Amino acid sequence: MITIKGLSKSFGSQTVLDKLELVLPKGQATGIVGPNGSGKTTTIKTVLGLVKPDEGEVLVDGIEISGNWEYRNKIGYMPQTARYPENMTVNELFNFIKEIRGNIPSVEQRLIQHFGLEAELNKRMRTLSGGNRQKVGAVLSMMFNPDILIFDEPTAGLDPRSSVQFKRLVKDQKEEGKTILLTTHIMSEIEELADYLIFIVEGKIKYHGPMDALIKKHKEQRLEGAVAKLMEEEAA
């Protein structure tokens, strides 16, 4: 469970998060949408402790995260742009992260197979294509079976086949009762993977609730239309 209370953050004079309140119950899959620069990535980075908030607090399973790092054991994160140390081979990277985690049981073999990464294992990260790097990121995020999964535009660099592979995996994780938080600009992806939707504009949450309710409210067939209407309302 992730609880965000009164979270504010500004970079210089620009306010990115404005007293954000959010509760993500355990086992819920939530998608965050919003225009570019609305604070989606900053929200995620704050939960991960990468960005330090100006005000407010974040609790993961009831524990305040500031000054705390053990909670990251429970989180798997896949960043927007997968960039990893260039000289490391894929295998070295996996082994390194395993060592960092104290060699706890991991399922990377299964994930490597799932994504068909076997042929890439001895290649340097620098020589990997963007899509394969993204897959490495996906393996890293799920290999320790964490309770909370955070994906920041996960399928942005993936080809359709890998994208389907990835989504299948996330659905499995969802069925296992994992808490999932993802951002994306592809509405169909949220329809497929999430049950709840957060619409965020200029660091404020404008809508947070079940996806079907939003679609019904706006008398639309698809999420895309409903979100477009939300955005239009915002702009007006």
Answer yes or no whether residue 87 interacts with other proteins by CB under 8 A: yes
Answer yes or no whether residue 123 interacts with other proteins by CB under 8 A: no
Return the ∠ at Cα 52 (arms to 44 and 157), rounded to 5°: 30
Residue from 13, 36, 62, 70 touching other proteins (CB under 8 A): that is 70
Residue from 12, 13, 36, 99 touching other proteins (CB under 8 A): that is 99
Distance CA 145, CA 73 (A): 10
Distance CA 223, CA 236 (A): 20
Q: Which stretch binds other proteins (CB under 8 A): 79-87, 109-117, 167-175, 218-226?
A: 79-87
Answer yes or no whether residue 83 interacts with other proteins by CB under 8 A: yes
The two three-digit tokens of residue 198, written as one number: 């957060």
| Shorter beta-carbon distance to other proteins: residue 42 or 184 | 42
The two three-digit tokens of residue 103, written as one number: 């060699």
Distance in Å, CB of 206 to other proteins, minimum:
25
Distance in Å, CB of 65 to other proteins, minimum:
12
Can you list the positions of beta strands (E) in 142-203?
A: 148-152, 179-183, 196-201
Coil, strand or helix at 104: coil
- Single-letter amino acid code for the residue at 32: I
Return residues touching other proteins (CB under 8 A): 11, 45, 48-52, 69-73, 75, 77, 79, 83-88, 92, 96-97, 99-101
